[in-house]
Homo-oligomer: A and B are copies of this chain.
Amino acid sequence: MSNIPWQDKPENSNEVIWRYSNNPIINRYAIPTSNSIFNSAVVPFKDGFAGVFRCDNKAVQMNIFAGFSKNGVDWDINHEPIVMQAGNTEMIESDYKYDPRVVFIEDRYWITWCNGYNGPTIGIGYTFDFKEFFQCENAFLPFNRNGVLFPQKINGKYAMLSRPSDNGHTPFGDIYISYSPDMKYWGEHRCVMKATPFEESAWQCTKIGAGPIPILTDEGWLMLYHGVINTCNGFRYAMGAAILEVDTPENVKYRTQPYLLGPAVDYEQVGDVPNVVFPCAALHDIEEDKLAIYYGAADTVVAMAFGKLSEVIQYTKDNSL
């Protein structure tokens, strides 16, 4: 029986994705030290949910914090950041941590994040209980962001999406996939999909990056992602969806030409970084056909949006590039 957060589609709405009416679910000052809480990840855990939250403090230092919730909407976030122990290697340098993703594979919860190691790259860690955390080798050389693991091995190997970047406000960026036999050595890097030509789909023409953990469906892997357009007043982040082949996810079957959710309400349009919708996690229930998305809004707060899995898939197929 499903217990993921849910709110029915508003009457008269014909949107595929609709916002939660009590957004934002987490405000910027939800813990004493925070300047902003956003771009965060959750998973089912025990009889409720656990999460890893990006909380920038009032010095605007970026770190990740564990949190817990009974219903997935109301959250208790720890006041101290996650402390890592050495995992499959010695302790890795970490100048900062941000934009976490979380996924359960086999016997533990894996966390990936943007790790500060001579610039941003993909940090990897795991936990069994969200109390003790273990940090592993970085997946890649700098510079990289938006590392997102698949929830199961593919052809016997771990698989990770990522976006090679630069060391600043990267004005480019495509999604790649890489494989690993052991969560330590990574190779077989393949390009999955690129930013689009301006004429074909402008909302995603500057850069793109994977969002929540991909969801296995009958049609393939459903990958929600963010796309960016560089307007004359800065970057605008919106959310789209793609469907990847099950055994060879480097092959894209469908990809939305329109965005699914773009900045259009106050908490998305106004904040530390205006006009940002940035999804990092999703809960789903195949039987009940429910999808609950967590996204950072305006780099300031956490918000939620909902959709019917079947409708999202159908829309992606019907509106594919």
CA A56 – CA B32 in complex, angstroms?
A: 38
Q: Verify B141–A162 contact, CB threshold 8 A.
A: yes
- From the candidates B59, B270, B299, name the one contacting A257 in the complex (CB within 8 A): B59
Which residues from chain B contact A259 at a C-beta distance below 8 Å?
Answer: 35, 58-60
Q: Please, which residues of chain B bring their CB within 8 A of the CB of A257?
A: 59
Cβ of A234 within 8 Å of any chain B Cβ, yes or no, is yes
Q: Nearest residue in B to A235 (C-beta to C-beta)? A: B232
A269 within 8 A of B: yes
Do A137 and B272 contact each other (CB < 8 Å), given the known contacts A58-B262, A143-B164, A259-B58? Answer: no
- Please tell me if the beta carbons of A137 and B58 are within 8 angstroms of each other in the complex: no
A96 cross-chain contacts in B, Cβ below 8 A = 198-199
Is A118 interfacial (CB 8 A cutoff)?
A: yes
Which residues of A (173-188) have their CB < 8 Å from a CB of B? 174, 176, 178-182, 184-188
A308 within 8 A of partner (CB) = no
Point out the residues of chain B lying under 8 angstroms from A236, CB to CB: 272
Contact of A189 among B140, B235, B262 (CB under 8 A): B140
**A97→B139 CA distance, assembly (Å):** 25
B202 near A60 with CB under 8 A, answer yes
Establish whether residues A199 and B258, one from each chain, have CB atoms under 8 Å apart when the complex forms.
no
Q: How far is the CB of A196 from chain B (nearest CB, A)?
A: 8
A67 interface residue per 8 A CB criterion: no
A264 to chain B, nearest CB (A): 7
Q: Is the CB of B141 within 8 A of A201?
A: no
Does A76 count as interface, using CB distance less than 8 angstroms?
no
Please report the C-alpha to C-alpha distance between residue A28 and residue B95 in the assembled complex, in whole angstroms: 42
Complex Cα–Cα for A60 and B185 (A) = 36
B274 pairs with A233, CB closer than 8 A: yes
On whether the beta carbons of B116 and A199 are closer than 8 Å, the reply is yes
**Interface CB pairs A-B, < 8 A, 6:** A60-B201, A119-B164, A140-B141, A184-B188, A232-B273, A233-B273
- Given A56-B202, A60-B202, 10 new contacts (CB under 8 A): A28-B264, A59-B259, A118-B191, A141-B144, A180-B187, A182-B185, A231-B299, A232-B273, A263-B272, A266-B270
User: Can you list the 8 inter-chain pairs with the closest CB atoms, starting with the nearest?
Assistant: A185-B185, A58-B258, A233-B234, A60-B202, A185-B187, A169-B232, A60-B203, A59-B201
**Which residues in A have some Cβ–Cβ distance to B below 8 Å?**
14, 28, 32-33, 35, 56-62, 89, 95-96, 116-119, 121, 137-144, 162, 164, 166-167, 169, 172, 174, 176, 178-182, 184-189, 191, 194, 198-203, 205, 229-236, 257-259, 262-264, 266, 269-276, 299
